[in-house]
Structure 1
Amino acid sequence: MACANCSTSGKSHDNKGCKNSGSCSESSCNKLTVFDWLSNMGLPTGEKMFDCVEVRFKNGRKEFFKNSESLSIAIGDVVATETAPGHDVGIVSLTGELVKVQMKKKNIDYHTAELPKIYRKATQKDIDIWSEARAKEETTQVKAREIAIKLNLEMKISDIEYQGDGSKITFYYTANDRVDFRQLIKEYAQEFKTRIEMKQVGFRQEASRLGGIGSCGRELCCSTWLTDFRSVNTSAARYQQLSLNPQKLAGQCGKLKCCLNYELDTYLDALKGFPDLDTRIKTEKGEAICQKQDIFKGLMWFSYKDNAANWHKLHISQVKEMIALNKQNKLVSALEDYIEETTEEPEVTFNNAMGQESLTRFDQPKRKKKRRNNNQPQQKRKENFSKGNENNKPVKK
């Protein structure tokens, strides 16, 4: 197995990390996997197992294959699959009826679709060739980037993937504009002596392939469980009253974070009963504008135009009452008349119910050292010293 997070040594089934040879449920060994909750259940009598399986390749790439030879395949088996040209090597990630559910989820009709086949279970020779090809990926990627820089192409080679039999290399790249890489393919074919395929991926897809740790301290959502990349707008941050700071709102892909959409529906539902943020209230003291709103407490802060520093906290029911008066061409007397006096809740402090003492009870307090006044004249210091000696003379009896 070759797994970046497990730090494999390049030999087959010799993982330094999880020791599970690709059948674990951690990190990129089984990224975006589906738990087979039907694995301990047998089929009814007379029923045949679904003849399609899901096979996982590098960085969570998964495809569906037909088990036309009725091979006894289980999750975690290394298989040789049909591809053009040659064959590829992958790991079975799902079997049985759940494959049918996954194909339906991805809009693949298993009745009419001509799925590629599984040739066989991978032999030791297949695994050796596959492991050698995976071991060359890092050096190949470095060389590929050097060639792209030499040709002055505005693109980034983010990842590469060798086919299982080593007959093809797929280069995944990101670019802002269209890139003419005809000369680049010639250079690659001359350098690596194999078939070359270029695939452009978006910045979000690049982050999902490479993985990483987000600002929340957890693994990236796109590389662990998120499968669909919906567009994220700055309006999602505005509805949630977040500061439009691109450094805080952008993820590792350079785009807006996908998590901005997670709670957006909750905020939109809460905002349905709120007046607009640009609501203006006409009072006898002047026009008042909205400065801030607390969505879940149902509060809004207003201030007069000529005194923007002094905010008045109001409930949305009071704001709606004042808006109704303005619609009747009536002026509100003042915002201060609608302010409710609230008592501050006492601060909850820790109650030492177990009688535990302070952790610093054994620490000794630091003693303050008395400093001598060196600025005093030397003659005066001698006089004070002699006076002190006279006062301390012993009394004769």
Structure 2
Amino acid sequence: MSCKSCATGGCGTQRGAADKPGEKTATAGCGSGGCSTGGCNKLNSFDWLSDIAMPGPKKYDVIEVKFKGGRKEYYRNVHQLDLTTGDYVVVEMQSGFHIGSVSLQGELVRLQVKKRSVKINDDTKVIHRIATPKDMDRHEQAMLRDLPALYRAREIIRELKLNMKLSDVEFQSDNTKATFYYSSEERVDFRELIKMLASEFKARIEMRQISLRQEAGRLGGIGSCGRELCCSTWLTDFKNIATSAARYQNLSLNPAKLSGQCGRLKCCLNYELDTYMDALRDIPAVDKPLETQKGRAWLQKTDIFRKLMWFGYSSESTWHPLPINRVMEILELNKRGVIPESFDVLTPIGDKEPVKAAALNSDLQKLDAKYATRSSSSAKKKKKKPKGSGGSNTAGTPKSANNGNA
């Protein structure tokens, strides 16, 4: 069975070629990783302990099973089935059964269960069997109902004038239950909607509200960085993100640039926040301008990792870079009522020689000179007369007149 989006058509339950007849290989699917949409590898986990036998009399019998949209749940392998990552299995549900693929097993599942604080007991649902071709046919038929049901449900929502956004539909493999995923900013009374959907699709209806970040993760897409969205590939825990994360990193507070496809602040704003917080501990807080005999200098920019702070006078457009030790020195002088002459020349750091402000902009000056040379050379080429024009003609005199006698 293929996942419908793989270029090779080999993803799904197909295994690689075995070395011996009847022997199973360690990987499932086409193994090329060339799916055009990346849907096969969504929230995928590499089972690096699959071929390692852990010490102990009994293998950990809890299996992680992945369903549509990257949703993962844990089931007990009470029948001790010989499973491989990628196998489709029939699992127990509250009513009926559902089909999912094995995403993780063994000791790694024990770590995941501990990390997510999942309670495993006798009430934990079990895996019935490995899916047969007949089970997979029923599963495909159920998946084919998802998209038409989504369109029809949206029409019903518009007729009822409900303030909600329906993003996805998932039918259970036995067609006895349908889960509708929606997002809304307010509380929605969908009792009438459930009645209409139940009579329309002849199944038990479950309405599950998800956040805007979860909705973006289920739909997927490409971020401004050019990569697939983190929430649809590997990110599962969504943490609170404040605008202060952008301020600490000296980012422009532009909502269009800081917002992701979900309309909320980008999750990646938190990735390097701890590094910036550690670097900001040594940088002093400048709440007022620096007093010099040349005038007041206001803080314009802070280079966090180079430990430089850029100040500018109101009377000129030039910014002057200062190391943090020089800034702290001037602040201390201002507190004591001492006003230094200026800070055009930077004070030495350790045993190094003083660094001039022009030296910090040397790379920019080289870049400007480079493009200035290119523009001048291109201008000279344009002034040259093209070949085959018959030579030069001095002072408007015809060429034939130069051949006559004086």
* Aligned position for 1:98: 108
Instruction: From the superposition, tell whether residues 267 and 231 of structure 1 become closer, same or farther in structure 2 (CA, over 3 Å).
Output: same
Shift of 1:368: 6.7
TM-score (norm 1): 0.80
* Aligned position for 1:167: 176
Separation in structure 1 between the aligned mates of residue 219 and residue 244 of structure 2, nearest angstrom: 28
* Aligned position for 1:36: 47
Shift of 1:83: 0.6
- Picking from 322, 343, 356, the partner of 1:341 is 356
Shift of 1:315: 1.7
Q: Percentage identity across aligned positions?
A: 48
**Cα contact 1:302–1:312 (8 A) shared by 2:** yes
**Cα contact 1:23–1:29 (8 A) shared by 2:** no
Listed one character per residue, the Cα deviations across residues 137-187 of structure 1 (whole Å, up to 9, x for unaligned) are 111111111111222222111111111111111011111222111121112
Separation in structure 2 between the aligned mates of residue 390 and residue 65 of structure 1, nearest angstrom: 103
1:60 aligns with 2:70: yes
Listed one character per residue, the Cα deviations across residues 245-270 of structure 1 (whole Å, up to 9, x for unaligned) are 11111111111111111111111111
1:314 aligns with 2:329: no
Counterpart of 1:63 in structure 2: which amino acid? E
Separation in structure 1 between the aligned mates of residue 114 and residue 12 of structure 2, nearest angstrom: 34
1:202-281 mapped onto 2 (5 Å cutoff): 202-281=211-290
1:288-327 mapped onto 2 (5 Å cutoff): 288-304=297-313, 306-307=314-315, 309-327=317-335
Separation in structure 1 between the aligned mates of residue 74 and residue 32 of structure 2, nearest angstrom: 20
**Cα contact 1:278–1:289 (8 A) shared by 2:** no
Instruction: From the superposition, tell whether residues 60 and 100 of structure 1 become closer, same or farther in structure 2 (CA, over 3 Å).
Output: same
Instruction: From the superposition, tell whether residues 252 and 368 of structure 1 become closer, same or farther in structure 2 (CA, over 3 Å).
Output: farther
Counterpart of 1:139 in structure 2: which amino acid? P
TM-score (norm 2): 0.78
Shift of 1:343: 5.9
* Aligned position for 1:191: 200
Separation in structure 1 between the aligned mates of residue 385 and residue 315 of structure 2, nearest angstrom: 51
SS of aligned partner of 1:171 = strand
Listed one character per residue, the Cα deviations across residues 39-84 of structure 1 (whole Å, up to 9, x for unaligned) are 222354x612111111111121111001112222222222111111
Shift of 1:369: 8.2
Aligned residues: 358
In the alignment, structure 1 segments of 5+ residues that lack a partner are 349-364, 372-383
SS of aligned partner of 2:98 = strand
Shift of 1:132: 0.4
**Cα contact 1:237–1:244 (8 A) shared by 2:** yes
1:116 aligns with 2:128: no
1:125 aligns with 2:134: yes
Separation in structure 2 between the aligned mates of residue 86 and residue 14 of structure 1, nearest angstrom: 26
CA RMSD of aligned residues (A): 3.2
Separation in structure 2 between the aligned mates of residue 270 and residue 97 of structure 1, nearest angstrom: 38
Instruction: From the superposition, tell whether residues 8 and 254 of structure 1 become closer, same or farther in structure 2 (CA, over 3 Å).
Output: farther
* Aligned position for 1:89: 99
Instruction: From the superposition, tell whether residues 279 and 105 of structure 1 become closer, same or farther in structure 2 (CA, over 3 Å).
Output: same
Shift of 1:337: 6.1
Larger Rg: 1
**Cα contact 1:28–1:60 (8 A) shared by 2:** no
